[in-house]
Amino acid sequence: MINPVRIAVPIAVVILLAAAMIYLTGGWDGTGGSLPTTDEHAAQPFDGGSPVDEQVEAWKALIAANFAGDAACASCHAEEMKAHKRSGHSHTLAMMHDSQWAEELLELATYEDPRRDQRFRFQTRDNQFTVQDVANPGTPAMPVTWLLGSGVHAQTPIWVDESSQRGVEMRWSYLAPSDAIGVTPDHERFDDYQQGTIECYGRPLDNASVRACLACHTTMSPPPNLPIRQDLYIANVGCERCHGPRKKHVVMAEQGLAEQAKPLVTLDNPAAAMKVCVQCHRDADSVSPTATPEELVRFQPYGLKKSRCFIESSGKMGCSSCHDAHDAVSTDRRLYIERCQQCHQPKSSNDCPQMPTGDCIQCHMPAVEWTAGIEFHDHWIRSPE
């Protein structure tokens, strides 16, 4: 008999339920709200009181008792693990000072903002990556905490202040199409800023916004009653983000009894798998009603669910119908055309009247530029206009 780590029941139940809600409802529309001022971002201690330390330790114990980590999956699921390491999910969050991009920025030394009269200087202090607004020497250097994104399209750094539990989305990002630093997507609307405030470094983030950003780049995030701290997150989107905590499964597998540890999350059909994808890739329930077509192109489930192919599939079509959830997104166009032709066979009643053997994707789901040369297929399968 395996004895789990013992945790005080009331704390464990509260934390587990809160974590489950975050797990099941992850995602954020990222829109709206006025920019906080410097006063609103003044350091405020985390409002948890003396029980916080106990809850933090209970959370850590809960994670240790229930989550095995990606490496534990490799011995039995070697091919899936190799594929996962190729995917953006496996490296979508890093500490800024540990990232390869930080090294490149330190060599670059400074960056001129093309839309503002600003020059940023990059340095390290006490093993912490920092940025400073050279044009305003009175503004203190800003530490940079996390780097979000895999780099397939972009990577954006953020600062998180553990005392105020708020942060800043930095004004500058890595943009893959140009393989260079540039203005962070959507920051064109923040060209005007108040000098001498944190707005000079980028977009202020309140507590909920910081948590939402990190939630979609991690396997597990702490519930709202716990502070935002590096040691309370499981970085990157790993196996257990989609399959649920599997520590018991791993322990039982070592005894040849893996099937006795049933998963908490079942992905036995495309519809069930899609519910996991929409947590971060979003559908109509989590996108802003004012979003433009260029913004909506990033939200693939939103587009797919509008498609006649999806609507008439009776739940048989989902993200996994065309994509291997473990691997990097394939760029083999023939693969996707073959998927289309599983239903739309040439010379059949479901045949495309315009180009039966042509490129289905180019016509029916074309790439749309979001910003800065970054393109996505919006996944709304439809007849071309």
How far apart, in whole angstroms, are the C-alpha atoms of residue 137 and residue 271?
54
pLDDT of res. 350: 64
Across the 385 residues of the chain, what is the mean pLDDT of every consecutive 10-residue run? 33 43 36 33 42 92 96 95 97 97 98 96 94 87 96 97 94 97 96 91 97 97 94 97 95 92 88 94 92 92 96 93 94 91 74 71 91 93 85
Distance CA 101, CA 23 (A): 29
For residue 36, what pLDDT is reported?
A: 35
- Helix (H) or strand (E) holding 232, with range, is none
| CA–CA distances in Å: residue 226 to residues 52, 63, 86, 165, 217 | 7, 14, 32, 10, 18
Q: Residue 354 has what pLDDT? A: 67
Side chain identity at residue 380, one-letter code = W
Reported in sequence order, the residue ranges of the chain that DSSP labels E, i.e. its strands, are 93-95, 110-113, 118-125, 128-133, 142-143, 146-148, 154-161, 166-170, 172-175, 180-183, 202-205, 218-220, 234-235, 367-371, 374-377
What's the length of the chain? 385
Q: How far apart are CA 21 and CA 30, in angstroms?
A: 19
Q: Which residue has the tokens 């540890």?
A: 261
Q: Can you tell me the distance from the alpha carbon of 106 to that of 158, in angstroms, rounded to the nearest whole number?
A: 17
pLDDT for the residue 348: 64
Write the CB contacts of 71 (distance below 8 Å, at least 6 apart in sequence): none
Dihedral of the alpha carbons of 87, 243, 300, 361, in degrees to the nearest 10: 60
Q: What is the C-alpha separation between 203 and 226, in angstroms, rounded?
A: 24
Task: Beginning with the edge strand found earlier in the chain, give each strand of the sheet holding 142-143 in spatial order.
Answer: 110-113, 118-125, 128-133, 142-143
CA pair distance 153, 145, nearest whole angstrom: 20
Contacts of 36 (CB under 8 A, 6+ apart): 166, 204, 206
| pLDDT value of residue 307 | 96
Q: What residues have CB less than 8 Å from 199, skipping those under 6 apart?
A: 35, 190, 193
What SS3 state is found at 339?
A: helix
Q: Which residue has the tokens 């479901």?
A: 350
DSSP type of residue 254 = T
Q: Rounded distance, CA 5 to CA 58, Å?
A: 10
Sign of CA dihedral 326, 332, 336, 339: negative
Measure the CA–CA gap between 21 and 217, rounded to whole angstroms.
16
Q: Say what the pLDDT of residue 276 is.
A: 94
- Position 358 scores a pLDDT of 72
- How many Cβ atoms from other residues are within 10 Å of residue 71's Cβ? 10
Q: What is the CA radius of gyration of the chain?
A: 23
Q: Which of 282, 170, 281, 165 is nearest to 232 (CA)?
A: 165
CA atoms within 13 A on the CB side of 183: 18
